[in-house]
Amino acid sequence: MCLSKGAKMKYLYSDLHIHSRYARATSKHLNVLNLYKWAKIKGISLLGTGDILHPKWRDEFKKYTIEDDNSGFYKVRPEYQKEVDLQLPRSVVDSHVYFVPTVETSHIYKQGDKVRRVHLVSVFPTFDTAAKAAVVLGRYSRVDADGRPIFGIHIDEFVKMMLEISERIVVFPAHAWTPHFAVFGSKSGFDSLSEAFGDMARYITALETGLSSDPEMNRLVSALDSLILVSNSDAHSLMRIGREANIHSRLDTYDDLLEALRTGDGLIGTIEYFPEEGRYHYDGHRACGVVLHPKESVKIQDICPKCGKKLTLGVLHRVYDLADRSDPNRGLLERFKSVHLVPLDDVLQNVLNVGKGSKKLMNRYFEVIDALGSELAVLNEVDISKIKEFDAKLGCAIEKMRRGDLKISPGYDGLYGVVKIPVDDCTQLSEQNLRLPL
């Protein structure tokens, strides 16, 4: 069954950049069947495998999935689907989830007078193609040491190697503006794609904006006008899947995905964090508790006023450095819509005034999903009136979130921003609305 015909949601969502338990600093619960389960809960139709160069992760996918005859994507084998579907909220059982092989690679090398540290995402048409890439790349570094393998290969050479394996492989820069490991990062990045990729820049058709930037910021840089902007979760745990995603009108085959990433055809836009939530939006120095807007940093020569060391320059600062417009390209922003959302568990944290990950919050989270649909449907598609019928205060909070009526203390130097949705004036939950699932 193809995604467009099988999906009940209004839109189709893809998340192409995630990780497995074989990558460093990731959850041990990141296995294939849990990815399938949580993609349904989140509302993701097409999920990247992440870490597909790792042989054990590839073997796990081969065990639990088969290729779908219609789409060319991969789906969980029917006997395993039945097992997982029994654990799911009723509203998402009938949705469809497919997988596409993907990996994030880390590249550390010297170019010019700097050590460059850049992360890339590669999307493969088949597991066999990914296995061929693993063989080639295994000559340069161990691909079984980390789900996100580290290479000394220059990124232009890497793109050339991938395209020699298959012209249907797509490579794009990951979280392009992050200070430490990104193509435009303030610590070790470049000032242009041509500087970074040389002659291979013409094969870079998409750019991942990352959590700390959004399309409006990226469209201040005219050199990026030709690129398709994509957003993905870079999830290191199940709960973070789909926190950023891509919105599609058509996603029936790998060719449809190729077109979306190369020309934007079939791509409606992206699901975005409010960029202030990201870990590197503002400038700052975490050790000193100093956080500054770029305009303030410039006034003090980017030096921490407390310790005298150089500040970590955030994504907004770096965008301003490379921007050649004061107003973003409105035509491209109209063509590709961006929707800013706050994750449902964060919304519920505001509504219930409880700790993140608490039992009360998670009980309520699954009750909402069971009654109203997947997380992305609740946040982006379900009518506010329907949400308010179920839970007046939650409906009020999501209504405020959708119109951007919230307060965010910006993230900086590796610390996430803190979101506050003002819910004091929302209708209080009734005892009935506070009931727990049976």
pLDDT of residue 433: 40
Q: Is the pLDDT of residue 342 over 70?
A: yes
Would you state the structure tokens that stand for residue 322, as one six-digit string?
Answer: 């490379």
pLDDT of residue 10: 81
Secondary structure letter of residue 153 according to DSSP: -
Average pLDDT of the segment spanning 189-200: 98
Query: Which comes out higher in pLDDT, residue 248 or 429?
Result: 248
Average pLDDT of the segment spanning 400-416: 97
pLDDT of residue 35: 98
CB 86 within 8 A of CB 55: no
pLDDT, tens digit (0-9, with 9 covering 90-100), for 131-170? 999 999 999 999 999 999 999 999 999 999 999 999 999 9
CA dist 172 and 154 (Å) reads: 14
pLDDT of residue 399: 97
Average pLDDT of the segment spanning 262-271: 98
pLDDT, tens digit (0-9, with 9 covering 90-100), for 67-90? 999 999 999 999 999 999 999 999
The DSSP bridge pattern shows strands 290-292 and 283-285 to be antiparallel
What is the amino acid identity at position 91?
Answer: S
Q: Is the pLDDT of residue 5 over 90?
A: no
Q: Is the pLDDT of residue 302 over 80?
A: yes
CB 215 within 8 A of CB 348: no
Q: Locate tokens 């220059």: which residue? A: 154
Q: Which of 127, 108, 128 is nearest to 118 (CA)?
A: 108
pLDDT, tens digit (0-9, with 9 covering 90-100), for 48-70? 999 999 999 999 999 999 999 99
**Collapsed DSSP state (helix, strand, coil) of residue 206:** strand
Average pLDDT of the segment spanning 101-124: 97
Mean of pLDDT over the chain: 95
The DSSP bridge pattern shows strands 102-111 and 114-123 to be antiparallel
The DSSP bridge pattern shows strands 114-123 and 150-151 to be unpaired
Average pLDDT of the segment spanning 287-316: 97
CB 26 within 8 A of CB 20: yes
Average pLDDT of the segment spanning 381-401: 97
Q: Is the pLDDT of residue 201 over 50?
A: yes
Burial of 11 (0-12, 13-18, 19+ CB in 10 A): buried
Q: Which of 221, 223, 181 is nearest to 201 (CA)?
A: 223
Q: pLDDT band at residue 192, thresholds of 50, 70 and 90? A: very high
Query: Which comes out higher in pLDDT, residue 432 or 348?
Result: 348
- According to DSSP H, which parts of 68-168 are helical? 78-85, 127-137, 155-165
Q: Is the pLDDT of residue 436 over 50?
A: no
Average pLDDT of the segment spanning 166-176: 98
Q: Is the pLDDT of residue 255 over 90?
A: yes
CA distances from 12 to 244, 250, 257 (A): 13, 7, 12
CB 6 within 8 A of CB 75: no
- According to DSSP H, which parts of 106-219 are helical? 127-137, 155-165, 193-197, 215-218
Q: pLDDT band at residue 427, thresholds of 50, 70 and 90? A: low
Query: Which comes out higher in pLDDT, residue 221 or 438?
Result: 221
What pTM does this model have? 0.95
Q: Which of 382, 420, 397, 396 is nearest to 10 (CA)?
A: 382
What is the amino acid identity at position 204?
Answer: I
Q: Is the pLDDT of residue 37 over 60?
A: yes
Measured at the CA of 35, the angle between CA 252 and CA 421, to 5 degrees, comes to: 95
Q: Which of 43, 61, 57, 52 is nearest to 97 (CA)?
A: 43
Q: Which of 291, 238, 255, 286 is nearest to 87 (CA)?
A: 238
pLDDT of residue 3: 52
